Amino acid sequence: MRIAVGQLWQETNTFNRNPTTLADFQNWGIATGTDVLEKFGETGELGGFVSGTRQWNSPPELVGLARFLCWPSGRINREAWEAIQETFLKTLDVAGHVDGVLIALHGALAAEGEGDVTGALLEQIRNSIGPEIPLVGTLDLHANVTRRMMAQADLLYGYHTQPHLDQFETGLRAARGLRLMLERQHRPFKYCRKLPMITAAESHNTFTGPPAPLYRRLEQLEREPEVLSAGLYMAMPWLDCKELGWTVTLHTVTEDERWKTVVAEIAESCWDLRSAISDVERYGPNEVVAKSLGHGGHPIVIGDGADATNSGAPGDSTVLLRELMKQQPIPHGAMTFLVDPKAVIHAEQAGIGGAFDAFVGGNFAPEFSEPLRFRGTVERLLPMQFELNGALGRKMPVQMGRSAVVRSGDVAVVFTERSGPGSSPLLYETAGLKPRECGIVVAKSPTAFRADYDPFVAASFIADCPGCATPNWSQLKFQNINQPLWPLQEIANPEEAEWCR
Ligand SMILES: [Zn+2]
């Protein structure tokens, strides 16, 4: 038996004007054919596919298609999207006959001219393999599940955790689902409910946040013999595309009214939670730094969701850096990072120990922050690469290009050439800084940072800054979504949204 395996993973923030290019994917490692499993066979969902299929009674031969992954950013440009499609079609062709496909997807991925890249790719794979071959996909919990995705894939498996810690397990679940499908030789029954709502990411925590009981319910459902997959997708809200909203899905081996009721009940609970999830205590830039200084304990982590590289913002906002500079002294020091390739070059030219004096940041999203003049001393120059093991990654090689540490008074800034996980203290540790001992550390992430920071910080505060991933919806111009969509419009009952029916 031969199973084709592939991955296309990126989260798109359509409010980030900077397109994602083929070079961005190359930076994170494009692989085709046998390289997919040789290089990435232990990483995230792909690791789960490999491990899961090995547990089958007669393990199948795995055939690598393609692996494209890169960090969240703006829409994929046309050139990259065309190259991705061509590569998948070509490798499917080279693979010849396969008995099933396992594909790791994100589900909130948009390209220039295509708002539903995930659905489009599933459709192309389906056209290539024909209607009979099982097609099983995995999705991020923030997928914007579309009708096309539901129609084209036989089974979809979403993460059940936020912070995302179960990529590998999601791969395992998908491999199990495919096995059951092949054994039964029966197509699953699909149940899906779209909800006309988006919510900010800070309270999406599936361990401690309002949606936690719903995710326990999904796990419970998946333990039932008749249920193949139970999904609740809270949607990447900075995705100005059709059908944007939460989705509840259920894939079963039997057709039963009961499943419709289960989906309707979960959907109703989601709708009832929408205000609780959106009710997040945020502090303006000045206040959040003052509050951190006034806390007394350390380290304090400040989550800057609006400039979250994890949510596809460019990561070069100067808003918090400006406040940190203003509110010195900062006992035990502060650290933040900016994606700023020009600043890296400037630091390299100054050399270690040299004087740094340049305008930094505010370049990729000038509508949200301005460049800031930053004067300091270059402390370190290094390649920013590490292996992510925590929120969002398992054995995931991270490559953020060249980087520089520049210190000004109590504030250390890590400038990186490229974007990467804003939720991980590893970024600072790789740069030789000590986030576990400092006064204030900035995480460019709305909530995923908690998985890595909570074990050692004295407190965490959420900043309310401008940025491409702001939860202040009125600051963003949505043009392509289906409406009404709560909270952009006040809706009393989800039935009011015809597009969700
Ligand atoms: Zn996500």
How close is the Cα of 164 to the center of ligand 1, in Å? 7
Q: What is the mean pLDDT of the chain?
A: 96
Question: What is the largest distance, in Å, between two alpha-carbon atoms of the chain?
Answer: 71
Angle at 22 between CA 11 and CA 9, to 5 degrees: 30
Contact 14, 239 (CB under 8 A): yes
pLDDT at 243: 98
How close is the Cα of 204 to the center of ligand 1, in Å? 10
C-alpha 67/C-alpha 396 separation (Å) is 13
pLDDT above 80 for 39 = yes
**Residues 6+ positions from 167 with CB-CB distance below 8 Å:** 44, 45, 47, 48, 159, 392, 393, 394
With bands split at pLDDT 50, 70 and 90, how would you rate the model's confidence at 392?
A: confident
How close is the Cα of 441 to the center of ligand 1, in Å? 22
Contact 470, 198 (CB under 8 A): no
In tens, the pLDDT along 459-480 reads 999 999 999 999 999 999 999 9
How close is the Cα of 236 to the center of ligand 1, in Å? 7
pLDDT above 90 for 394 = no
How close is the Cα of 140 to the center of ligand 1, in Å? 5
Give exposure, 62-89, as e/b (b: 16+ Cβ within 10 Å).
bbbbbbbbbbbbbbbbeebbebbbebbb
Strands (E), 273-345: 282-283, 300-303, 334-339
In tens, the pLDDT along 116-154 reads 999 999 999 999 999 999 999 999 999 999 999 999 999
pLDDT at 390: 72
Q: Which of 244, 222, 246, 216 is nearest to 233 (CA)?
A: 246
How close is the Cα of 379 to the center of ligand 1, in Å? 34
C-alpha 55/C-alpha 99 separation (Å) is 17
Measured CA to CA in angstroms, residue 370 lies from 13, 359, 443, 473 at distances of 20, 9, 20, 21
pLDDT above 90 for 371 = yes
In tens, the pLDDT along 158-189 reads 999 999 999 999 999 999 999 999 999 889 99
pLDDT above 80 for 362 = yes
The stretch 376-395 carries a mean pLDDT of: 89
Q: Which of 16, 487, 479 is nearest to 241 (CA)?
A: 479
pLDDT at 202: 86
With bands split at pLDDT 50, 70 and 90, how would you rate the model's confidence at 379?
A: very high
How close is the Cα of 95 to the center of ligand 1, in Å? 31
With bands split at pLDDT 50, 70 and 90, how would you rate the model's confidence at 397?
A: confident
In tens, the pLDDT along 266-290 reads 999 999 999 999 889 999 999 999 9
pLDDT above 90 for 396 = no
Measured CA to CA in angstroms, residue 396 lies from 58, 65, 168, 466, 472 at distances of 29, 19, 11, 30, 32
How close is the Cα of 200 to the center of ligand 1, in Å? 12
How close is the Cα of 431 to the center of ligand 1, in Å? 26
How close is the Cα of 327 to the center of ligand 1, in Å? 33
The stretch 344-368 carries a mean pLDDT of: 98
Contact 153, 122 (CB under 8 A): yes
How close is the Cα of 163 to the center of ligand 1, in Å? 8
How close is the Cα of 383 to the center of ligand 1, in Å? 27
How close is the Cα of 141 to the center of ligand 1, in Å? 5
How close is the Cα of 73 to the center of ligand 1, in Å? 13
In tens, the pLDDT along 197-232 reads 999 988 889 999 999 999 999 999 999 999 999 999
The stretch 239-252 carries a mean pLDDT of: 98
pLDDT above 80 for 417 = yes
C-alpha 347/C-alpha 353 separation (Å) is 10
How close is the Cα of 290 to the center of ligand 1, in Å? 30
pLDDT above 90 for 395 = no
pLDDT at 251: 98
Q: Which of 444, 448, 487 is nearest to 463 (CA)?
A: 444
C-alpha 339/C-alpha 415 separation (Å) is 6
pLDDT at 267: 98
Instruction: Indicate the pTM of the whole model.
Output: 0.95
How close is the Cα of 231 to the center of ligand 1, in Å? 13
